[in-house]
Chains A and B, each alone.
Chain A
Amino acid sequence: MEPITALLVVVICVILGGEFASIGVHLIPVGGAPAAMGTATGIATGTIQLMLGAAVVGLFTASSVATFTNSILLVSLSGAVGAMMMMGVVMLMANIIYAFGAGVVPVSGRVAVDPITRESQTEYKTPQTDGHGVPNVSYISGMVGALIGGAGGALMYFALLNYANFPAGVAGIAAISIFVANAIIAAYNIGGTIEGFHDPKFKRIHKAIFSSFFVSLFCGVLVWLTANLGGLL
């Protein structure tokens, strides 16, 4: 591939991957520390930690799949589905522990009625808390978010592997690094916790997309610079 075409392709793929990471972070329900005490809706861990865990499972499968297929779509989708599966099992088991370990019903703290299943939420909520567990709307939002985020990670990996000609290990660690940078900036945008697409904080997403665009743009150019100057292209 010509260096200029490679520049375009790599930069576009890295920007897309970064944007996907950013959007994914906004969609997964993360409650942070309060969720571990059943004081907030979502999964009881930090945004980056959860998103990174999901994306990395996707990346593992994607890198396996990339050894036997050349299609960027299939590799990205494999990563996306891997991340989605990780998130799905985690949220389901979290609900099981909430239900049978602590005796709480999953309920959203931000909306009175579940926007998808139309189940009322308010009367199930413990007073003085911000909801608890992973209700259906957050679950579906989380699945979609992991799907998008995982696709982002796998897309970046594939682009670095095949268009920037990085060896597999370099492509993997560089994809993780760019993913993490975007996820952290998105996490700062939501202040650490979010319930899903129905959360009022989700309306701030354009700010993260804007920042993520430029950060990914620079990272993409730097990656291309590495490949070009290092003689890989």
Chain B
Amino acid sequence: MTVTPAVEEEVVVAAKPKKGFTFPGDETNLGIIAGVIATIIVLIPGLPAVIKAVGMIFAFLWGMDSVRKTSKYGLGTGVPSIGVLATGYGIIGALVGAACAHVVGSIGPVAPGVLGGVVLMAIVGYLSGVFSNHEKIIGMKIPKLERGMMELGMAGTIGILLEFSIVAGSLDFGLVVEKAISSGLVAIMFILGGMSMFHPYNACLGPDERRERTMMVSVEISGLLSVILGIALLVMGSPWGIGDGISLIIFGALVWLVFYRRFIQACMKECYATVGTGLIKTLG
């Protein structure tokens, strides 16, 4: 649909810019804004859970946007597949990130090691994009698939890292493994994290899909995820005390309520008609 700016965006990403918000809301800019905010939050693992949840919402929003722009062209296996790929990469990347943080240690409150996982996963994501899109290999012929898969790897990794750090309270490798993964909580992180990336576009699929509407679903699911993680946090315990879990639950519920209402209202307003009941239009 937007064919002309494609080349421009490709160049911008290759140069990895840090600013340039000329067209807010545009795919590239959203990626940059969300990516930068989420990265800053993930770098400081000692923050309260609510702030990490904000970062998580941004990370998954970014992932959702990447899913949307890659699966717009038809993948042949349904929208969810690429979201699951992102989550799978996210789990591996988050493990690597936590392990890197374990070695690098922290400078003040900042743990720069986690970036190792994000960068490595970006490389793996880019490579799988190249393999899938290159004419001589799989040849899916989807414009900008390389970039999309790279962003998915990064967004998935940051999102899962933030989830780990919410539940474990820090990004210490031992704590992450014990509290977030061996306890089994990783299951809900995997599936709901994935859902907030691939469910929105899958649920809003159709010729009259609108990007803003799709984004509301992603934020809404992240809110639900926050509620469930908050419930888990009540048991896991956090350095900030019991208020951490309760505030996360309240925050998640508020986010969910606001965006769910807005989404349903937007759908009912923008659809062909919202009728209480009625018969179907028969073919003349």
Contacts and interface: CB of A to CB of B under 8 A. Distances in A.
Contact of B132 (A32, A169, A192, A211): A211
B77 A192 contact: yes
Contacts of A178: 88, 92
A207 B96 CA distance: 28
B75 A188 contact: yes
Contact of B92 (A168, A174, A185, A187): A174
Given A230-B99, A230-B173, A181 B89 contact: yes
A222 B124 contact: yes
Contacts of B77: 32, 46-48, 184, 187-188, 191-192
Interface residues of B, number: 42
Contacts of A223: 92, 95
B187 A211 contact: no
Interface string A166-180: 111110011011101
A215 B138 contact: no
A170 B182 contact: yes
Given A211-B128, A215-B131, A226-B96, A188 B177 contact: no
A193 to B, nearest CB: 8
B132 to A, nearest CB: 5
A229 interface: yes
Contact of B96 (A166, A222, A231): A222
A192 to B, nearest CB: 4
B190 interface: yes
B202 interface: no
Contacts of B127: 214-215, 218
A47 B75 CA distance: 12
Contacts of B173: 229-231
Nearest to A186: B138
Contacts of A48: 77, 81, 84
B91 A177 contact: yes
A167 B177 contact: yes
B184 interface: yes
A181 B99 contact: no
B12 to A, nearest CB: 26
B29 to A, nearest CB: 28
A228 B96 CA distance: 10
A219 interface: yes
B128 A215 contact: yes
A222 B100 CA distance: 11
Contact of A185 (B87, B103, B128): B128
Given A184-B82, A187-B81, A167 B88 contact: no
A192 B78 CA distance: 8
A144 interface: no
Interface string A197-225: 00000000001101100110011001101
B88 A226 contact: no
Nearest to B88: A177
A79 to B, nearest CB: 18
Contacts of A219: 92, 124
Contact of B181 (A170, A180, A218): A170
A138 interface: no
A108 interface: no
A78 interface: no
A180 B88 contact: yes
A189 interface: yes
A43 to B, nearest CB: 14
A226 B93 CA distance: 9
A173 B124 contact: no
B177 A170 contact: yes
A39 to B, nearest CB: 16
Interface of B: 75-78, 81-82, 84-85, 87-89, 91-93, 95-96, 98-100, 102-103, 120-121, 123-124, 127-128, 131-132, 137-138, 140, 173-174, 177, 181-184, 186-187, 190
24 contacts: A32-B77, A46-B81, A166-B177, A167-B181, A167-B182, A170-B95, A173-B190, A174-B91, A174-B92, A176-B88, A181-B128, A184-B81, A187-B76, A192-B76, A211-B132, A215-B127, A222-B121, A223-B95, A226-B92, A226-B99, A227-B99, A228-B99, A229-B173, A231-B174
Of all A-B residue pairs in the complex, the 10 with the closest CB atoms, nearest first, are: A177-B88, A211-B131, A229-B99, A230-B99, A192-B76, A230-B173, A180-B88, A226-B99, A177-B91, A192-B77
Interface of A: 32, 46-48, 166-170, 173-174, 176-178, 180-181, 184-185, 187-189, 191-192, 207-208, 210-211, 214-215, 218-219, 222-223, 225-231
